[in-house]
Amino acid sequence: MRKMTLKERYDGVIAWFSENMPSPETELHYDTPFHLLLAVILSAQCTDKRVNIVTPPLFEAYPDAAALAAASEEDVFNFIKSVTFPNNKTRHLIRAAKVLMEEFGGEMPSDIEGLMKLPGVGRKTANVMLSVVWDKAAMAVDTHVFRVSNRIGLTNNSKTPLATEKTLMRHIPGDVVPKAHHWLILHGRYVCKARKPECGNCGIKGWCRSYANEMKKNSGK
């Protein structure tokens, strides 16, 4: 049997998701770019479900960067104490708001360099903001994107998130990248799970390197 080319794999995966998940969106709730930034910072090593529980009162208390920049750590901590690493995230939120006020006039920067000047914002968070808010061709690589890309065979034993990002950006058309980010996250969250991938429920198993290897092993060939 002829080995699938990398282009065929990408084309197949993109075509399936385009048909079956045409309008994927972040599962984080937000109403403004500033509030999305807060939610993404809070979501580091924490579930979106938990973040969505704590953000409504946080957003109401701090509608903009000016309000949060003037807040006390104690007050902010009380809003987010049930998320992971609340002490660090409290400091990041307040400091990010202060930098927004001091360096950007309270407006959200729309480039990766500007975003990464904000405390608590690394490359992944910056790319989320670029793709979700401005629909830019930016690929945020979280644990799901990293795992799924390698398992499917979109990457080849990629060692770092940056290497994964560069490979995906090289092969996915720019206008598809913002959607592809969500496709891979949602697929990893609900189907291609870390410990027990649900291959029986997977629509892209026909293009999956890991699934093909498993079938080959089971057939004894």
The reply to whether 10 falls in a domain is yes
Summary mean pLDDT of the chain: 95
Q: Hey, how many other C-beta atoms are within 10 angstroms of the C-beta on 28?
A: 19
CATH number of the domain where residue 197 is located: 1.10.1670.10
Which domain CATH number covers 130? 1.10.340.30
Q: Among 106, 134, 162, which residue terminates a domain?
A: 134
Share of the chain above pLDDT 90, in %: 94
State pLDDT tens for residues 137-170.
999 999 999 999 999 999 998 999 999 999 999 9
Q: What number is the average pLDDT over the span 14-22?
A: 98
- Looking at 108, 134, 160, the residue that finishes a domain is 134
Domain count, the chain: 2
| Catalytic (active-site) positions | 124, 142
The pLDDT value recorded for residue 188 is 96
Same domain for 149 and 104? no
Query: Within this chain, do residues 92 and 160 fall inside the same structural domain, yes or no?
Result: no
| Together in a domain, 147 and 128 | no
Per cent of the chain over pLDDT 70 is 99
What DSSP designation does 84 have?
S
Residues 73 and 148 in one domain: no
Inter-CA distances, 177 with 21, 127, 139, 171, 193, Å:
14, 11, 6, 10, 22
121 located within any domain: yes
* Contact assessment for residue 162 and residue 123, using Cβ atoms and an 8 Å cutoff: yes
Q: Helix %, strand %, coil % for the chain, to 5?
A: 65, 0, 35
Residue 1 lies in a domain: no
Is residue 203, in this structure, part of any structural domain at all? yes
Spatial CA neighbour of 100 closest among 124, 76, 64: 64
pTM, two decimal places? 0.92
Residue 171 in domain: yes
Q: Which residues constitute the domain of residue 100?
A: 33-134
200 shares its domain with 163 = yes
Residues 84, 64 share a domain:
yes
Residue 54 within any structural domain of the chain: yes
